[in-house]
Chain A
Amino acid sequence: DTGVSQDPRHKITKRGQNVTFRCDPISEHNRLYWYRQTLGQGPEFLTYFQNEAQLEKSRLLSDRFSAERPKGSFSTLEIQRTEQGDSAMYLCASSFAGGGLWEQYFGPGTRLTVT
């Protein structure tokens, strides 16, 4: 069984460019979460999906951020018109909503550097 995977692992982009990150959850998990982690801080929750439905998106940092999970499997996080302040580690996690466990399993993250 493979864990949560994220692609790419590192992304360097110039300010103003759009970037898209991909997350593949653990196959039997129906919930998928996105977080942002900046240096010296804990992860900050951004959004989550149950199957293909995005159930919480008010925590997305601005309207430049959007996420999709079109078939209830993998998900993408897009940042439009990147700014230097977007430089951070973007983490994906998945869980199985059932049985009251709510354990989230994290991927290795995508490190974004905006120059």
Chain B
Amino acid sequence: GNSVTQMEGPVTLSEEAFLTINCTYTATGYPSLFWYVQYPGEGLQLLLKATKADDKGSNKGFEATYRKETTSFHLEKGSVQVSDSAVYFCALTPVGGGADGLTFGKGTHLIIQP
């Protein structure tokens, strides 16, 4: 079956540090890949997505590249801010869309200290 593995948290960084949150997946074919973010007290929000190999999703200074050869979709940001503190979820849907819904990783809690 499909699965997503992401790095355990919490991840604690200082403001302006470089961020990487690792995400690898197992799926048949070519899934679509997503990063969702959950800010404290709020619902899940789509952060970025990529639908095919070598696509780069980007939003709010965050980037992730769909790497088929390593089955990875690592999230990066060059300079984090305190407001980036949240829980980040990597997720996938199978080829063709939401037939099985989204498969999520366990989430990575990011804490940015001033």
Count contacts on B: residues with CB < 8 A to the other chain. Answer: 25
How far is B3's CA from A44's CA once the two chains are assembled, in angstroms?
A: 11
B32 within 8 A of A: yes
Which range holds the interface residue count of chain A? 20 to 34
B6 to chain A, nearest CB (A): 9
- Mask: chain A, 91-105; 1 = CB below 8 Å from B; 0 = not: 101010100101111
Q: In chain B, what residue has the closest Cβ to A44? A: B104
Chain A residues with Cβ below 8 Å from B89 are 42-43
How far is B91's CA from A43's CA once the two chains are assembled, in angstroms?
A: 10
Per the 8 Å Cβ criterion, residues 68-89 of A in contact with B are: none
Partner of A56 from the list B32, B100, B104 (CB cut-off 8 Å) is: B100
Partner of A95 from the list B91, B98, B106 (CB cut-off 8 Å) is: B98
Pair A40/B106 contact, Cβ less than 8 Å: yes
Q: In chain A, what residue has the closest Cβ to B42? A: A108
Chain B residues with Cβ below 8 Å from A108 are 42-43
Pair B42/A104 contact, Cβ less than 8 Å: no
Per the 8 Å Cβ criterion, residues 19-47 of A in contact with B are: 31, 33, 35, 40-46
Q: In chain A, what residue has the closest Cβ to B49? A: A103
Pair B104/A104 contact, Cβ less than 8 Å: no
- Most chain B CB within 10 A, of A35, A43, A59, A105, is at A43
Chain B residues with Cβ below 8 Å from A93 are 44, 102
B24 within 8 A of A: no
Pair A45/B43 contact, Cβ less than 8 Å: no
Pair A97/B97 contact, Cβ less than 8 Å: yes
* B residues lining the A interface (CB < 8 Å): 4, 32, 34, 36, 42-46, 49, 51, 89, 91, 93, 97-107
